[in-house]
A and B are shown apart, each in its own frame.
Chain A
């Protein structure tokens, strides 16, 4: 009998095309997602060398980072953004790559549409020129972000040169308290391991609290693996996974479905498989989380106060805290719930799915966005938008005073017109609170969708559980 293997080991082994004596591997890539920002130079490289796309049908492209989230009839105002989006269409045309264009109802954030279409399947290797590709690991696939040179490499060869990562398992035991979500769980994990804690690892998330999550919640957790330094995060596929995939436009059908299902059931880590690093958390200890600084590891429970430089273990961290407090315009010792916000952003590949919008609606229903707060909701895809409208969520949002917009990355990275002004403070459901991430000088507090909605209606950081 062979040694027990982890989910990661199994996927890795089954994609090995070649292994050099020094351990460098060539691994096969099943699915490649492409967006407009990190692909133009890759297509240009193919053109210059006369190479073609090896498997266009295993590739799917979508513009998301630059697209406007207001009306689209007039196209894109910003010239550079427009050129980049047009270039993607031209490249897809020339190389035969399927594209969901800006006017396609299936358009959306690249990591939302993969799962939505059934393009993302368990046991696969999935890459994209985007660090949040880890999202797809929620399906028990090995999914990670790559640079543009690697995008070109995958387009040309359908493979990547890699060394195997190490295995880490993070187990979240027990049940999450009411009002605490997948977002809080992953923020709490990042707070524990730090932004570099997962460097060199693939994280497998396990335990009752992970199994209890919906597929949407699992995607939120895996999505932010990169904020913990891990290139990929994954979760063993189970009945929930299969149910989510069944019947999606690109998922296998009929006999192929049965065959795939039988294979997927063999994927979960074997009993006794060993991990290079283990971490166990108790779900019951997790509260709603809020970031206070400029790194996702700068996170505290909503009941806590903003830490000061004295909390730092060393000089580097001390100066980082001082710098963060200064940038964020915050004083150590202030309870985080007293911090007032100017803006609320709900959306992104972390929290732009239907379940997230339902959470927001539950808080927004019958309430009003606080005066002086601008609150925007950007659905993750055209299909999420459609579904939300079918459920009447849009009416709840609009009545409460939220701005209900078109799908895209929007203020998650502020590459389109949706940005913060210098000094503007935002409660955001996105994934990065780096300096300038949501607009130069902008101040970001990362939170769950429910917490963002709570901040919108009270005008300051608020424990969503208090709104009942």
Chain B
């Protein structure tokens, strides 16, 4: 997993509430057995019409095609647990999402893939949404270490993040490796349970 430290990039506005993971990546792209190449399916139905023609979706507009940050509405990533959603975002170059709130499973999935989801109060998201609307000038900086966001006009917004998640993200740590190091604790837990709950 890539480390996340500082990011300065274009932010694209996506002012919709309840953006679900079906919308982020529709089911026809879930038939893959790989994690890569999902960029093609990202927001597919917002991006193309029924005949497959481009609809000038925000991420296809010249000013936003290299966007690395999304600013979106409440309850981002609700619905299906599909990790294809963060994989597709990552494949399209998105490393950070800012919204008033996130659905739990999606939020969790982001951290496993080096994406930083930032939850902020609605008023602050509204400000950043305006910033993101400025096309070529929609450049936002995110500093994970300092837990700060800087808008194009230099205003600073600080954000909260769980300390352990921050640590893993900043160091690109692999959860499984961390847990394997606790193998003895898992062994002894299983031993105890074999006695107390043999049916489990």
Contacts and interface: CB of A to CB of B under 8 A. Distances in A.
Contact of B33 (A87, A156, A320, A413): A87
Interface string A27-56: 010100000011011001100010100100
A157 B180 CA distance: 7
Nearest to B193: A28
A46 to B, nearest CB: 9
B164 A147 contact: no
A200 B101 CA distance: 11
B162 interface: yes
A436 B199 contact: no
Contacts of B75: 195-196, 199, 229
Interface stretch (B63-71, B88-96, B106-114): B106-114
Interface in A142-167: 145-150, 152-153, 156-159, 161, 163
A211 interface: no
Contacts of B18: 195-196, 295, 320
Contacts, number: 177
A196 B27 contact: no
A441 B112 CA distance: 32
Contact of B45 (A130, A131, A316, A435): A435
A425 interface: no
Nearest to B109: A147
B53 interface: no
B81 interface: yes
A157 B176 contact: yes
Given A150-B108, A199-B75, A199-B101, A22 B27 contact: no
B26 A440 contact: yes
Interface residues of B, number: 56
Given A28-B189, A157-B176, A196 B78 contact: yes
Interface stretch (A1-9, A255-263, A277-285, A340-348): A255-263
Top 4 nearest A-B pairs (CB, nearest first) are: A149-B112, A252-B199, A40-B33, A80-B31
A159 B179 CA distance: 8
B19 to A, nearest CB: 10
Contact of A26 (B28, B113, B179): B179
B157 interface: no
A156 B81 contact: no
Interface string A235-278: 00000000000000000100011011001000000000000000
Contacts of A83: 31, 33
A161 B179 contact: yes
A342 to B, nearest CB: 17
Nearest to A82: B31
A156 B75 CA distance: 31
Interface string A403-429: 000000000011100000010000000
Nearest to A158: B186
Nearest to A323: B16
Contacts of A295: 18
B79 A131 contact: yes
A153 B175 contact: yes
A323 B23 CA distance: 14
A411 to B, nearest CB: 11
A320 B16 contact: yes
A413 to B, nearest CB: 5
A296 to B, nearest CB: 9
Contacts of A196: 18, 74-75, 78, 101, 103
Contacts of B28: 415
A147 B81 contact: yes
Given A87-B33, A124-B200, A146-B81, 5 more contacts: A130-B80, A131-B80, A226-B79, A252-B199, A440-B45
A18 interface: yes
B76 to A, nearest CB: 10
B14 interface: no
Contact of B199 (A22, A51, A260): A260
B23 A435 contact: yes
Nearest to B110: A147
A317 B100 CA distance: 14
Given A229-B78, A263-B197, A317 B31 contact: no
B25 to A, nearest CB: 11
Contact of A81 (B31, B35, B81): B31
A149 B113 contact: yes
B117 interface: no
B104 A422 contact: no
Interface string B11-24: 00001111010110
Contacts of B27: 413-415
Contact of A434 (B15, B79, B180, B185): B79
Contacts of A74: none
Nearest to B86: A147
A352 B49 CA distance: 33
B185 A148 contact: no
Contacts of A37: 30-31, 82
Given A84-B33, A157-B186, A435-B23, A22 B164 contact: yes
A66 interface: yes
Contact of B103 (A229, A323, A434): A229
Contacts of A372: none
